[in-house]
Structure 1
Amino acid sequence: MSLRIVVCVKYVPDATGDRHFAEDLTLDRDDVDGLLSELDEYAVEQALQIAEECRRGDDEAEITVLTVGPEDAKDALRKALSMGADKAVHVEDDDLHGTDALGTSLVLARAVEKTGYDLVICGMASTDGTMGVLPAILAERLGVPQVTLLSEVSVEDGTVKGRRDGDTATEHLEAALPAVVSVTDQSGEARYPSFKGIMAAKKKPVTSWDLSDLDIEAEEVGLESAWTKVDGAEERPARTAGTIVKDEGEGGKQLAAFLAGQKFI
């Protein structure tokens, strides 16, 4: 048995950075550092664990990490490769600028089909958009089952199995391969890349495709074709100085009055 795993990852802006919009109200990526979405690290980790389990049983497994994004998105791929993935695919095209989740799902679906797959693993959401809808849309485009929001996942005898933990119940789910799954941040701590892994990642293959390689027309993606876009934005007001209570014997009363005025008490 040979298991082909594709992990969809996203290059996102650093949440701790100072982010700004460009003139077209998309994120100005030149103005902020980027990195592999933390929630996608859990997807890479689960792919690695599934592949390791296959190899212990004398089966073969190959992990491909896939991203859609600008030139710097290769940094996200290198992080995943240094964790232990085998190869990477980067879809980059100027006409992708401003593409929303629906357009991105089309690009990912075509790339996944071209790569070849048995199992697609995604994070539960991206840390920038936090929509969480892409795994389901991707499964629909591929015409395969989806098993989403899993805190535990495994593959056995051509079936993917997982556990989904809700507020009031736990569900045990399974689907025949090929399938799409997404995993939560409760699925297991992602490993840190070792020095050996970081050095090995530099030699692993990274394939680059554009829209023409995937038979996608520019009119099908991009900001003008997006179903969701930002209509307006304004700078957040500067923080004002807080209220200072000087305790000269009446500090407690002043503090209580302030809290009451703010309806905290």
Structure 2
Amino acid sequence: MNKTDEANQTAAVLDGHQIWSAMRRLSFDGIGTVVSGSNTGLVQMDDLADRAPQFAAFFIAPNREKVLKMVQMTTYRIPNCDGTINRTGCYDLKLTDVMTGFWPSENGAMPPDEPVCGFRGQRCSYTVEIAVGATVLALIMLILLLWLLRRHCQTRALNKMPWRLFSDDFRLIDEEAARSLLSIGSSNTKLSNQSIGGSKKHAILGVNTHATYRRFIQKQPLKFNREDMVLLTAVKDAIHDNINPFLGMAFNDKEEM
């Protein structure tokens, strides 16, 4: 309309074909605001009096708030083109890279051409890491070795069977022999009237240790596992004034019964 008025063609404002022809291939600056201080840029009309589009490609990273403009798409007029004939706007898009060296990292920078430590790690020293790893490995091996040594010493101590009594270590006596020893008043045996009599069976362990025992029939060779030996050793070591001490156990470890 303004272009038609500038030509002093008052009657042309009523002629749609003339206005449409004046709009073809028209270019003007977009309207801006004082507050924003910006405008819509250059407005170009194509050969069919439609606005030629302007596009841009942006990259939106999921871990960043800033939007990166990658490509600017501007329109340019195709020479020797008539829109009324081919029914096109006679415009095409020109792509211009705004950002070069783009990489989808946090800062958008491309990775270096060569790693910081080199392709073979020749630029970095791993002495500290190797020393720490070797120290930790040595500590683990030392702890394992100490545990195995402690286990071996415990096994050796258990295999000695401190609670086992051999046939030469004790002498079984009946009630008559026990009473005769009491009547003699032997100072070499620790017998008392309370311990003589009843259903208890008596034995002399060592030189002068009086003990009572229980006798069982052994039908097969006895095999003690680790748990059994740990239990018997703990019972052997249990000493208190209010309990009778466990002196030991005698058994036949051979095949003949």
Provide TM-score, normalisation by structure 1: 0.15
Larger Rg, first or second structure (1 or 2):
2
- Bigger strand share: 1
Provide TM-score, normalisation by structure 2: 0.16
